[in-house]
Amino acid sequence: MTMIDISMACICAAIIAGLLLHKLVVRLQLSAAKHRSLTGHSRMARRFAALVPFYEYGEDRFFRADEAPEPVAAARRAGFMRLAGLFEQRFAKSAAMTAELQDSVSDLQFTSRYRVPFQFSRYAREHLRGGAFLESSSGVTVTDLDGNRFYDLTGSYGVNVFGYDFYKDCIARGAEHVRELGPVLGAYHPVTAYNVRRLREISGLDEVSFHMSGTEAVMQAVRLARYHTGRSHLVRFCGAYHGWWGDVQPGVGNPLAARETYTLKDMDEASLRVLATRRDIACVLVNPLQALHPNANAPGDSTLVDSGRRAHFDRAAYSEWLRKLRVVCSERNIALIFDEVFVGFRLAQGGAQEYFGVRADLVTYGKTIAGGLPIGVVCGRRDLMKRFREDRPADICFARGTFNAHPYVMGSMYEFLRRLEGEPVRAIYRDLDGVWDARARATNERLAAAGLALRIENLSSIWTISYTQPSRYNWMLQYYLRAAGLALSWVGTGRFIFSLNYSDADFAEVADRIVSAAEAMQRDGWWWRAPQLTNESIKRRVFKEMIQARCSPFIGSMSSPRSK
């Protein structure tokens, strides 16, 4: 070997070592940007979920899962049976119709099963039959088949921002606009021109595309980002929901691993470092609702194993985080996508971009924006929205949908957007946070004064309940609230969504009911305290039960519903 050969070999080795080192650093940066929870580790979460065995509590254990003494269990049982009797009598028709469809509607089976932690689910389902049907809505209330009126805290998954009457009107008036054309698809009804103009104004972006759901809008935004950047990966933040498309739901719930998705820590510098160094990132998806509970999944009562659920909204901190994201995305030519499907017009007239003072490259809207009809919208920069290349005609980014820009949806959207400009709606937005923060604060003061260990955390009109004392039974509150005439969605106390037409009097009534429902639950002994009962001890116990149930089928049957 000559000296030249040797020095060439040394240079090659140094280059390879340098490349390997760079790869290692980039890989380590990615690891550092993962949230330490299972939620932050999608693959591990899926593996763990597959290992969780089914077991459930029989009648006795149902009331003493925390080893409470017998008198406490007896009080719980009495309270539970009182509720069961009340439900049976009050919701008879709704429950009967629900039972009739239970085996035929898969969605119904799923939501009724996952209302509460699975160990308690069957017994609760069998005794507390609420019913999944409603007959009418008016003001801030909904009415079931038995004629019971509930204050609506479901917000219809976030669609209901201005009150159901508003949307009924949008739909009816919208239908009048497009009646002559009817369900003709492919061509556009003229109202669409107004919608496009308004959407461009609101988003501050150049182009618009219409889809049938928020999930589809997100799919399209990500596809466009991949097409234009030529990169494969999307970044989503830990816990954020962006619809049920596989690539944005890499963890539990998706049978496949999402290989082109990075799940990074929300509000964390380590994530910014990943964005600043990796070359395969096409876009970053932000769901601003996560500002209420960064790095945690949407809070549902079925995961209320203990009282570990926490939330807190800091507008200034989240705005600062979005500004940092904006900077790194611009520097690295990564598309910043705000997924405003949920929060869209709930926070501000101009959506989350206006509320947080940061502009995105692509914005998805949905839910409320079609005045109560199904919708997904993408607004974006012209260079990102284009679906073909001038110089390569066969290289296209395909996106079609039979029902896109359906005339009836466009008609209803037209009504929604027109009203959004009107004074009554403008008035609602004035001091919106002031109103809802004050309501949350006042409710918390009342809860504290009543010695109740729960507190409201809110992002404007979106509320979640945190429990401040260790308990296995927090999820029971959803049934007490229902008995008090408050309608919750299937995630229970994890999310209350108020429509913005709640008057002070309506709200006062809801606050009274929240406090009195929680007091009733307290009286019935569900929030029994003991020094040995901590969140850690609860988790340890449940973990032990799982191990036992996995190891022995007999232990599983020991706690079957028939056993005592």
Ligand X SMILES: Cc1ncc(COP(=O)(O)O)c(C=O)c1O
Interface residues with ligand X (CB under 6 A) are: 157, 213-215, 218, 241-243, 287, 339, 341-342, 366, 376
State which amino acid sits at residue 509. E
As measured in angstroms, the least distance from the Cβ of 341 to ligand X is 4
Q: Where are the beta strands (DSSP E) in 271-393?
A: 281-286, 335-339, 362-366, 376-380
Nearer CB in complex with ligand X: 94/213: 213
| Pairwise CA distance, residues 145 & 133, whole Å | 7
Alpha carbon separation from 452 to 6, 397, 461 (Å, rounded): 77, 55, 22
As measured in angstroms, the least distance from the Cβ of 397 to ligand X is 20
Angle subtended at Cα 294 by Cα 452 and Cα 357, rounded to the nearest 5 degrees: 110
| Pairwise CA distance, residues 102 & 131, whole Å | 10
DSSP H or E segment with residue 454: strand 454-459
As measured in angstroms, the least distance from the Cβ of 214 to ligand X is 2
Q: Which residue's Cβ lies closest to ligand X? A: 214
| Pairwise CA distance, residues 76 & 183, whole Å | 55
43, 533 contact by CB (below 8 A): no
As measured in angstroms, the least distance from the Cβ of 211 to ligand X is 9
As measured in angstroms, the least distance from the Cβ of 542 to ligand X is 28
As measured in angstroms, the least distance from the Cβ of 287 to ligand X is 4
Alpha carbon separation from 476 to 287, 481, 509 (Å, rounded): 29, 9, 21
As measured in angstroms, the least distance from the Cβ of 216 to ligand X is 7
As measured in angstroms, the least distance from the Cβ of 256 to ligand X is 19
Exposure class string for 523-541: b at 16+ Cβ within 10 A, else e? ebbbbbeeeebeeebbeeb
Nearer CB in complex with ligand X: 117/243: 243
Nearer CB in complex with ligand X: 41/495: 495
Nearer CB in complex with ligand X: 194/241: 241
Nearer CB in complex with ligand X: 218/238: 218
From first CA to last CA, the distance across the chain in angstroms is 83
| Pairwise CA distance, residues 449 & 235, whole Å | 44
Nearer CB in complex with ligand X: 339/524: 339
Torsion sign across C-alpha atoms 309, 315, 321, 326: positive
As measured in angstroms, the least distance from the Cβ of 85 to ligand X is 35
Here the tokens at position 70 are 């017998």
Q: Assign residue 195 a region: left if phi > 0, alpha if psi is -120 to 50, beta otherwise?
A: alpha
As measured in angstroms, the least distance from the Cβ of 236 to ligand X is 11
Nearer CB in complex with ligand X: 122/157: 157
Nearer CB in complex with ligand X: 34/236: 236
Nearer CB in complex with ligand X: 342/475: 342
| Pairwise CA distance, residues 308 & 311, whole Å | 10
Nearer CB in complex with ligand X: 159/486: 159
Here the tokens at position 396 are 């296209």
State which amino acid sits at residue 328. V
* CA 410 to the chain's CA centroid: 26
User: Largest alpha-carbon pair distance within the chain?
Assistant: 96
